Amino acid sequence: MSLPSRTALVPFISVDNMMRLVLHVGIEQMMVELAEAIEADFRRWPQFDKTPRVASHSDIGVIELMPTSDGQHYGFKYVNGHPANMRQGLQTVTAFGVLADVATGYPLLLSEMTILTALRTAATSAMAAKWLAPCDSRVMAMIGNGAQAEFQALAMKAICGIEEVRLYDIDPAATRKCAANLAGRGLRVTPCATAEDAILGAQIITTCTADKQYATILTDNMVGGGVHINAVGGDCPGKTELHRDILLRAGIFVEYPPQTRIEGEIQQLAPDHPVTELWQVITGAAPGRASAGQVTLFDSVGFAIEDFSALRYIHARLQGTGLFQELDMIADPDESRDLFGMLCRAEAAARVA
């Protein structure tokens, strides 16, 4: 089955087919390729429409739309974040996305994005670490061992050469889950009893916790010089993971400042506190790590261009796999102005049947 082109049928990637595609490509290989696709789009950052995500916040979570376009393709993601879902056996984050053709407005792809978001988030983290972390980084601390943890660890292994991951979570069962899932995947896995233990000897520290609150996962005295912090969990207003004093002495790198100042760790700082956009580092427009002893922080909240990159990558990667279904989503009458006639013909056919 080949991908539909100018037709009303839209390829749809279900959760099952997304898993099949990931395994067809290989988990680590897919994250390498996703990071390359995201980096390529970061290099042409000025070509994109950019806006903070459209968010509907409640006391228990958030529902968001994340749109962008490069003038040829348009993409958006629907995503939620509901930390209390875990207590009901539900996912904290779920998502789906659409890629469309700007010239016609027709959708080109509908895809699950719960798995794809985990992959692209990890790929983006590792891409940032490639540019910002110490070049000899071999040990990573993973604080918060929930749904994102294994993806983060494997992306850092595949893209940055990490050899050991040190795990900590307030829930020991989450750490046991993560350690079991990473067994046999080429990493030394070290479960730790405290966050302090986890960061010992780590050049890259990733925080990815779920609670929607102002939290202090890392205090200033825990963080020595020369490390790279990948702060993933702080991704909405009122939700942070790092003590403010860490931010005040770190070189801070972000995706899109108008969004990150609302949702990221830097919501704790003055609106004019200097930050560097990651795309500027990648294109050479701004420096990255300034010295071996500098603390660098990627204040990662996720931005629509990363989802756009992931959707375009998946659309291209589907070719020849047959790992999709064709959905009859778009009414396509024989005469474009005769939509009612299409309904009449269906009515007549129903009478005959």
Concatenated DSSP letters for 88-139? GT--S--EEEEEEETTT--EEEEEE-HHHHHHHHHHHHHHHHHHHS-TT--E
Nearest to 165 by CA among 174, 185, 173: 185
With beta carbons less than 8 A apart as the criterion, state whether 87 and 95 touch: no
With beta carbons less than 8 A apart as the criterion, state whether 31 and 159 touch: yes
Q: How far is CA 110 from CA 30, 96, 114, 169, 325, in A?
A: 19, 7, 13, 35, 10
Q: Is 101 a catalytic residue?
A: no
Label the pairing between strands 73-81 and 61-69: antiparallel
Tokens of 61: 């979570």
184 exposure class (CB count in 10 Å sphere: 0-12, 13-18, 19+): exposed
Helix (H), strand (E) at residue 254? strand 250-254
Q: How far is CA 269 from CA 55, 219, 238, in A?
A: 21, 16, 13
196 exposure class (CB count in 10 Å sphere: 0-12, 13-18, 19+): middle
The catalytic residue among 41, 70, 169, 235 is 235
| HEC letters along 203-250 | CEEEECCCCCCEEEEECHHHCCCCCEEEECCCCECCEEEECHHHHHHE
Residue 298 backbone phi and psi in degrees, to 5: -95, 105
Question: Could you tell me what percentage of the chain is helix, strand and coil, using 3-state DSSP and rounding each to the nearest 5?
Answer: 40, 25, 35
Active-site residue list: 235
